[in-house]
Structure 1
Amino acid sequence: MADSTSNNLDRQAARALQVAQRVHAIEPFRVMEMLKAAGELKRSGIDVIGMSVGEPDFTAPDMVAAAAMDAIRAGATQYTDALGLPALREAIASHYQRACGLAVDPRRVVVTAGASAGLLLACAALVAEGDQVLMPDPCYPCNRHFVSAFGGAPVLVPSSSEERYQLTADHVAANWNERTRGVIVASPSNPTGTTMTVQQLQGMLAAVRARGGFAIVDEIYQGLSYDSAPASALAFDDGVITVNSFSKYFSMTGWRLGWLVVPEALVPVFEKLAQNLFICPSTIAQHAALACFRDDAIEVYEQRRLEFKRRRDFLVPQLRELGFSVPVMPDGAFYVYADISQVAHPASGDSAAFSMAVLNQAHVAIVPGDDFGFAAPTRHVRLSYATAYQRLEEAVARLARIVGD
């Protein structure tokens, strides 16, 4: 009798701990797995050059750090409005005018706990069970997992280098069906570093609008544009939702602060969701972020942007010399998405094996393409140049020793 009771309790406990089915659709984030493997080598005393994680080697400038400390000393650490500090929403709106020549109503700005929280809010608001959401392949892996987390079905559409690895109006027309609800795109993109041309962006948005769908445009790397002035999707469609962040251009990754610009009619919806899911973003980070828009801070950020461009202009030609194929020059972010199929290395047919070989043989951490989609991932790797110029020079020298003739 006691054994029977115990078995019943064990079965009940197993059922209680059974995870929701949607969790099985969310894969591990392999970038973090590579970071963990690199960390193990570092702890053993090996010098590893990190070209895997998308994190600037720069941190918040002095005036931003000082603003955070001032907020703490002043006791400005309690909850803010769920939509964020009014002063910060106004500062973000003014930034669009300065950076893009766009007039954005501060009431449309929703400050979030990082861009990831912004994307979660957007998917919570717009994605229903079974809804399909189109995105390009390759793309940032978490985007499809955000959709899956709310019961949606991400649909990755293979996109070529000729299309700048971006979702086009033709892709929308060819893949839209009765279950399709909208699209998620990023410009500039992770992992490719490519920006949608103005014509691509306008055409894609028009195709979605004609079908009554939503468009979420991730613009977190917009400040890191190198070959032309950045163009926001807000310039072309009042109904679009844009996502941005203080992590990349503003060098505040661990501060976990971002924002959305949403149609005015949806502000109450996002406010209700933010109140329930996050209460509010970090108050200290918000006060610090106000200093990001000072003239002296923007001067620092622009110097850093030019430094990232210098790194790109060094790295891409060097990779091509080593046999990596980079068919389209990345014009934003700090990534190179390279085809390794012609690289002179025994593991060049398998990006996961190649990335591990590069880590173990050259002590350079890069990321295999299978994190970013299903279109030829074994042929591609992503390299981040968000590390010091001198370290990139050393990384190239190390790669040359294992992939040269």
Structure 2
Amino acid sequence: MGTGIDRLTPALALAQRVEQVAPFHVMELAKQAARREREGHRVIHMGIGEPDFTAPDAVIEAATRAMRDGRTQYTNALGVTALREAIAGFYRDRYGLEVAPERIIVTAGASAALVLACAALVNPGDEVLMPDPCYPCNRHFVATFEGKPVLIPSGPAERFQLTAERIEAHWGKRTRGVLLASPSNPTGTSIEDDELARIVKTVRARGGFTVVDEIYQGLSYDGEPTSALSYGEDVLVVSSFSKYFNMTGWRLGWLVVPPSLVPAFEKLSQNLFICASAIAQHAATACFLPDTLAIYEARKEAFRARRDYVVPALERLGFKVPVMPDGAFYVYANADGVNHPAAGDSDALTQALLQEADVVLVPGMDFGFAEPRRYIRLSYATSLDSLHEAMGRIEKVFGRH
């Protein structure tokens, strides 16, 4: 008896944009590592940028109360009022900035915030400037809305960041704006305050938009960071509860936009996402309690200690760290000089270290097109003991070659 299904029917054709999205090597390596773990290997993960810390008890208790009290319905598309007010208070207390809660849009993670920003600001054919290297999804967000991401090679001399001079030199007739991250994934480097002020001024003079991803700013180790919101209400800032607040799987972030754009972003949020998770929003209000913030600051010091160990450890192994990371939990290291046959080819090297040392690192290929095979990205969002063990394993591998 037939099933009514023609098994010879060809697969449905995918939209062309799918072909434009490059594979995410960090996720592919994670899948390979998972297979090795199923085979009995103990793998040390320094690939995915996910804190090994989880939400503090106060946050979990707030989520439990929300569920118990039935506060699980859809929220306003802009977010729960109490949470938006708490975020505004955070900007006031941490940065000395008065940000109206009405400008804050709570989103389903920073990714949703960037999707909203691109949906609102990018027309087909518009060019958006960003540094090379940068977080790979950023260019895909732009391309999804038929914009053209323009990656500008940004090396150690620029702290792997865009500069006002580079933006001015690459600004063309189709350029619509810039998308930056400070501190950056994959490099852990920040844009210096004076340079960021010049960037905003340069873009503003050309009628463009400046979007700054600040999801790692809470994890800044050298000096007091300055939010890009300091440079005018026309700057859009993205942030998240994933990194500093240790809530990756809760999928919660926020976006600060100019007052005049709030209605447009609300309309887009209503249609694209309805709202962020109600439970996550109610839980996140507890992130800003004094005792909870004290926990986050102590954890930040733990990340700083890991950075201060792992950078010299990598250099002793023959890696070069051309710019000391001042934030996030990444090191972007040049692998040209390591003692391994795959030196100078970070894709081959990371594959070899997974197979020979059960250590996961990420090749620079994920992050752009400017000399990506020379660099690896290491995430130190794991315990200091694991970092010590990983460096020891790599040293043994290099010693055999």
When normalised by structure 1's length, the TM-score is 0.96
Tell me the equivalent position of 1:35: 30
Tell me the equivalent position of 1:299: 294
Match of 2:70 among 72, 75, 79: 75
Tell me the equivalent position of 2:392: 397
- Whether 2:345 is the aligned partner of 1:350: answer yes
Matches within 5 A, 1:127-138: 127-138=122-133
CA distance in 2, matches of 1:244, 1:282: 16
For 1:190-231, what per-residue CA distance to the aligned partner results, in whole angstroms no more than 9, with x for missing partners? Answer: 000001100111111111111110011000000000011111
Match of 2:357 among 341, 353, 362: 362
**1:237 Cα deviation after fit:** 2.1
| Aligned sequence identity (%) | 61
Tell me the equivalent position of 1:329: 324
Aligned Cα RMSD in Å? 1.2
CA distance in 1, matches of 2:321, 2:344: 16
Match of 1:107 among 102, 106, 110: 102
- Whether 2:180 is the aligned partner of 1:179: answer no
Match of 1:64 among 59, 64, 67: 59
How many residues in Structure 1 have an aligned counterpart in Structure 2?
395
Q: What is the identity, as a one-letter code, of the residue corresponding to 2:384?
A: Y
CA distance in 1, matches of 2:16, 2:28: 23
For 1:55-109, what per-residue CA distance to the aligned partner results, in whole angstroms no more than 9, with x for missing partners? Answer: 0000000110010001000000000000000110000000001111111000000
- Whether 2:107 is the aligned partner of 1:140: answer no
Match of 2:19 among 19, 24, 41: 24
Match of 1:88 among 83, 87, 107: 83
- Whether 2:262 is the aligned partner of 1:267: answer yes
Match of 2:208 among 209, 213, 221: 213
For 1:288-343, what per-residue CA distance to the aligned partner results, in whole angstroms no more than 9, with x for missing partners? Answer: 00000000000000000000000000000010111101011000000000000011
Which is worse superposed, 217-226 or 28-37? Answer: 28-37
Q: What is the identity, as a one-letter code, of the residue corresponding to 2:117?
A: A
Tell me the equivalent position of 2:369: 374
Matches within 5 A, 1:254-293: 254-293=249-288
Matches within 5 A, 1:306-321: 306-321=301-316
Unaligned 5+ segments in structure 2 are: 1-5
**1:386 Cα deviation after fit:** 0.1
Match of 1:383 among 378, 382, 393: 378
Q: What is the identity, as a one-letter code, of the residue corresponding to 1:65?
A: I
Q: What is the identity, as a one-letter code, of the residue corresponding to 1:288?
A: A
**1:349 Cα deviation after fit:** 2.0
**1:21 Cα deviation after fit:** 1.6
Tell me the equivalent position of 1:3: none
Unaligned 5+ segments in structure 1 are: 1-5
**1:20 Cα deviation after fit:** 1.6
Match of 1:116 among 93, 101, 111: 111
Which is worse superposed, 201-210 or 295-304? Answer: 201-210
When normalised by structure 2's length, the TM-score is 0.97
Q: What is the identity, as a one-letter code, of the residue corresponding to 2:118?
A: C
